Amino acid sequence: MNKAELEKIKKRALEEHIPIIMDETLEVIEKYLSRNKPNRILEIGTAVGYSAICFTEFLAENGVIDTIERETDRVKEARENIKMAEVEDKINIYEGDAVEILPTLNNQYDVVFIDAAKGKYPFFLKEALRMINEDGIIFADNILYKGYVMSDYNKHKQRTAVRNLREYIKEVSENPNLETEILEVGDGLAISRIKNRGNKKID
């Protein structure tokens, strides 16, 4: 994949204030992907396709990414970017609300990347757990939401998001089948590995 092309996509997304994955967060996920070469990734929140395009580099041969986005304009731009990056055969975009689309999916995923509506994280987790492989991993971006999640800050506008992000952290921490770390990279990244397999490398 052409790095200059990728930089162009990133620059344009930042100019349009589209909340694409931060460099240090991407680095952590890519490290895992490069060591484990997944066959199938599920991404919730495509935006303009930046993270999905980045991930394609680390797929196993014939691997694919299923990604969900509800904003029509972003889907359109994502399709253009994906075409420009020449990875159309590696990314399937599902257009619509992930809350409606996820229950219709029935694939097995090696990796799930949750990066959409914060108020829906507990629901996304439930769906991720239904479809994750027994040695899979679930990443959740923006889990610390500008520090609101770990403080007692309770501004009305963000209250539902913060409550649901806290609920997500509680669920992944208490689930005996998961081993979870919360990293303070970027806007916070939750990493939950399915337990007892222990053969997947994270660092």
What is the binding site for ligand SAH (CB under 6 A)? 19-21, 45, 47, 50-51, 68-71, 74, 97-99, 115-117, 120
CA neighbor of 173 nearest in space, from 188, 187, 160, 192: 192
Quote the least distance from Cβ 10 to ligand SAH, whole Å. 9
142 binds, among Mg ion, ligand SAH, none (CB under 5 to 8 A by kind): Mg ion
Instruction: For CA atoms 66, 40, 51, 97, give the dihedral sign.
Output: positive
Measured from the CB atom, the residue of 33 and 133 that comes closer to Mg ion is: 33
Quote the least distance from Cβ 45 to Mg ion, whole Å. 7
20 binds, among ligand SAH, Mg ion, none (CB under 5 to 8 A by kind): ligand SAH
Instruction: List all residues 6 or more positions away from 38 whose beta carbon is below 8 Å from its beta carbon.
Output: 58, 59, 60, 63, 109, 110, 111
Q: Which long-range contacts (CB under 8 A, 24 or more apart) does 163-167 make?
A: 164/118, 164/119, 164/120, 164/121, 164/122, 165/118, 165/121, 167/121, 167/122
Measured from the CB atom, the residue of 58 and 145 that comes closer to Mg ion is: 145
Copy the structure tokens of residue 5: 């092309």
Q: Measure Cα distances from 77 to 43, 70, 84, 183 in Å.
A: 17, 12, 10, 30
Quote the least distance from Cβ 115 to Mg ion, whole Å. 4
Quote the least distance from Cβ 136 to ligand SAH, whole Å. 18
Report the residue from 49, 102, 141, 169 that binds Mg ion according to the rule CB under 5 A: 141
Measured from the CB atom, the residue of 57 and 179 that comes closer to ligand SAH is: 57
Quote the least distance from Cβ 141 to ligand SAH, whole Å. 7
Instruction: For CA atoms 86, 36, 28, 182, give the dihedral sign.
Output: positive
Number of residues near Mg ion (by CB under 5 A): 3
Stretch near Mg ion under the rule CB under 5 A, chosen from 53-61, 112-120, 130-138, 174-182: 112-120
Stretch near Mg ion under the rule CB under 5 A, chosen from 8-16, 99-107, 121-129, 134-142: 134-142
Mapping DSSP to helix (H, G, I), strand (E, B) and coil, where does residue 172 land?
helix
Please tell me the distance from the alpha carbon of residue 172 to that of residue 178, in angstroms, as a whole number: 6
Q: Does 127 bind Mg ion (CB under 5 A)?
A: no
Copy the structure tokens of residue 58: 């680390």
Measured from the CB atom, the residue of 85 and 179 that comes closer to ligand SAH is: 85
